[in-house]
Structure 1
Amino acid sequence: MAWPWRRKSRRKMARVVLDGPITGATRLRVLKALREVGEREFPALLLRIDSPGGTVGDSQEIHAALMRLRDKGCKVVASFGNISASGGVYVGVAAETIVANPGTITGSIGVILRGNDLSRVFERIGIRFDTVKSGPFKDILSPDRPLSDAERALLQELIDSSYDQFVGVVADGRGMSREAVKGFADGRVFSGAQAKELGLVDELGDEEHARRLAARLAELDEELRPVTLGKSRRKLTSLLPGSQLIQQLQNRLCIELMGSGQVLWLYRP
């Protein structure tokens, strides 16, 4: 049942920002903000995404929360910033409408899992591991040995399952067939302009364009300014010279740490 918007005194728009790699911390912050959107019964949500993606489960939980808001009648418009790739796309397709800048980096629909085979390094420096395990696959992706053929086949099945989930959600969210999505869901990236031609985004424009579109969809005043929820806590380092560079380095380190042994929906340039 849709919320009775016209009986509500609050005729406002919410804004939630998803920026940086999608991690557990990102999920907690964004989900808290989305719960507030529901509790305060905002008729429209402007979702700003500037993310290369990240962990699978966290992306899925944010997507599910957005779908619950839509089921209650909230109009959700996504605005893709500099980058909205992989898991960022997964989250974005939960929106009713997607707006991207012409030069936005998007796409990278696919799954990646990386491990590190350091066995030769360990051998050179004289380090050897003794492992006791309950089954043949318990230490899969262990850094002290290469993958066996059986392990590689097992992990490929895992990747294929995750990829199938990704394709299905994009197909449903964009009203496309799975075959059409698979035609471009091979990990490649696109500009916003290319993504529009493929049907991955609806309109080209900046966040202001997306805000006005959300207002029209919810029948709000187009001059209405959104209420930003779930702001990231400002750290002391943000006051230092070069703070943006520090943040970029932190994000890069986060991506590298995520990249070992986890199934990821992540664009890795």
Structure 2
Amino acid sequence: MSDNPSMIPGTPEPNGSAAPLVPSSPQGQASQSGQPQAAGYTNVQQAQPQASQPTQSQAQGQPQQAASSSFGSTQGYSNQGAPQPPYVQQPYAGGYAAPQYAYAPAQAAQPKKGGKGGWIALGIILFAIVFVFTIGALSCSHTVSSLTSGADAFSSMSDEVITSGDSVGVIDMMGTIQYDGSSCSPEGLRDLLKEAEENPDIKAVVLRVDSGGGTATAGEEMAAYVRDFSKPIVVSSASMNCSAAYEISSQADYIYVNETTAIGAIGTIMQVQDISGLLDMLGIKTENIASADSKDSSYGTRPLTDEERQYYQDLVDEINETFIQNVADGRGMSVEEVRELATGLQFAGKTSVENGIADEIGTYDDALGKAAELGGISGENYEVVNLTSTSSDLGYLMDLLGADSGSALDDIDLSQLSAEDLVNLLKEEGVLS
């Protein structure tokens, strides 16, 4: 500490040195300004230039060095001489003109020209569009290749159905026909039909269909299960009953449609992508090491040869013949009659009844009544049993996570659980650690 009693160490000054201090007026006496001052020391006041009177350099917008500012009792120190925190200090009001560029509008950034970034982004967008159209092609199709998901990922198998008398079982077949363990898959439909077969109270089954089709092999398998079922099956068509879904439906004993139902679309499609042009544009080189020249023909990294294109056409035609034959056998029509209808196009409900694709315009209730009639149930005293389970949201979540939810969890309403309760429950089931 300095020995000079007129200095307080640490008092800042603009030039970095300590500001000189002089004894203040005795306590209780007024200063020249008429304001009382505390006894002790105070800073020497230095003159400030008038901020309201700009200098010539200020008027021209040039920066000017501010005059040495004072650090009085209101600038860094309280009336008692104690330092004030920075957030209560008054803003600087000295004479200083900001340079003109401080108020100039920001210049917009100019995009860089050239580079492959734009082409790569465009390529990704084009690839996404191709992928979306590929998926869209499966929405009403009888396809050679399949998009598969994990077995039993969305399993909708019900627990044991309890009946108390004559009953009509209902199986919902809504979605893409594929191998996923649901009622839209061969293994799922097989198990549900087996359950109905073994229950003596279930006299008939209604197959509630709303599907645009799916894979050829899954459709063929499911058609066989419907054909081999010993009890009557009646199809109730919702908005769509097309392609592979119709191949399955054609094996039923009776088909109902609505007037606005899209049904039929008898045909088979196989899609081979050729993205070689896109890969070239992106500068991506691919090299396939194959055991035979045509092994990479469906990889999309090169165009098909004429021979390969003809080969795939023959393959599609062969698979489609199985489709046509199944429809002919199921509907009691000749192969020639079905082939004339196998344009790949859909029919509206009324037209489908006229050309033999369906039997009658009718609702879901009409289908239930017809099933009861074909099953030998007299009157309307019969139970309607949904063989396809309707899992709770929690059970669906457990299926997505690959966990065995069990019947107990299927009864829990997910909307009634807090986030903490849900996490604890998933930990108890071993889904989360």
TM-score normalised by the shorter chain: which range applies? 0.7 to 0.9
Percent of aligned positions that are identical: 31
Tell me the distance in 1 between the aligned counterparts of 2:304 and 2:388.
42
Further displaced range: 41-50 or 200-209: 41-50
* Residues 133 and 179 of structure 1, relative CA distance in 2, 3 Å threshold: same
Q: Given that residues 17 and 48 in structure 1 are in contact (C-alpha distance below 8 angstroms), is that contact kept between their aligned partners in structure 2?
A: yes
Alignment of 1:230-245 (within 5 A): 230-231=388-389, 233-235=391-393
Contact kept in structure 2, 1:212 and 1:222, CA below 8 Å: no
**Structure-2 change in CA distance of 1:233 and 1:143 (3 Å):** farther
Whose helix proportion is higher, 1 or 2? 1
Does the alignment pair 1:202 with 2:359? Answer: yes
The counterpart of 1:125, out of the listed 263, 278, 282, is 282
Mapping for residues 40-119 of structure 1, pairs under 5 Å: 40-41=199-200, 42-69=202-229, 72=230, 74-119=231-276
Partners of 1:225 and 1:100 lie apart in 2 by: 23
Which structure 2 residues correspond to residues 115-194 of structure 1 after superposition, within 5 A?
115-194=272-351
Which whole-Å CA distance do the structure 1 matches of 2:297 and 2:378 have between them? 56
Further displaced range: 205-214 or 230-239: 230-239
2:178 corresponds to 1:23 = yes
Unaligned runs of 5+ in 1: 1-8, 241-269
The alpha carbon displacement at 1:154 in A equals 0.8
Which one has a bigger Cα radius of gyration? 2
Find the residue that maps to 2:171 and give its secondary structure: strand
Change (3 A) 1:33 1:162: same
Question: Structure 1: how far apart are the matches of 2:327 and 2:341?
Answer: 11
Q: CA RMSD in A?
A: 2.1
Cα deviation, residue 136, structure 1: 2.0
Residue 14 of structure 1 is aligned with which of 165, 169, 180?
169
Q: Does 1:228 align with 2:228?
A: no
Q: What is the DSSP-based 3-state SS (H/G/I as helix, E as strand, rest coil) of the residue aligned with 1:128?
A: coil
TM-score normalised by structure 2 residue count: 0.51
Residue aligned with 1:24, SS: coil
Residue deviations 1:79-130 (CA, integer Å, cap 9, x gap)? 1111000011101011011111111001110001112111011001111111
Distance 2:266 2:236 in 1: 18
Q: Matched residue of 2:251: which SS?
A: coil
* Superposed CA offset, 1:188-224 (max 9, x none): 1111111000011111101110110111111114422
Greater relative contact order, per chain length (Cα 8 Å cut-off, separation 6+): 1
Q: Is the 8 A contact 1:30 1:230 kept in 2?
A: no
* Corresponding residue of 1:255: none
Instruction: Kindly provide the amino acid, as one letter, of the partner of residue 179 in structure 2.
Output: G
1:218 is matched with which residue? 375
| Range 220-229 or range 140-149, more displaced | 220-229
Q: Please tell me whether the aligned partners of residues 81 and 104 of structure 1 are also in contact (alpha carbons under 8 angstroms).
A: yes
Q: Give me the whole-angstrom Cα distance separating, in 1, the residues matched to 2:260 and 2:242.
A: 13
Q: In the aligned structure 2, how far is the partner of 1:58 from the partner of 1:234? A: 27
Q: Equivalent residue of 2:383, what SS? A: coil
Q: Give the unaligned 5+ runs of structure 2.
A: 1-163, 398-412, 415-433
SS in 1 for 2:228: helix
The structure that is strand-richer by fraction is 1
1:37 maps to which of 169, 192, 196: 196
Question: What secondary structure, in the 3-state scheme, does the structure 2 residue paired with 1:183 have?
Answer: helix
Q: Distance in 2 between matches of 1:56 and 1:117?
A: 23
Q: Relative to 1, partners in 2 of residues 1:111 and 1:43: Cα closer, same or farther, differing over 3 Å?
A: same
State the TM-score, normalizing by the size of structure 1.
Answer: 0.80
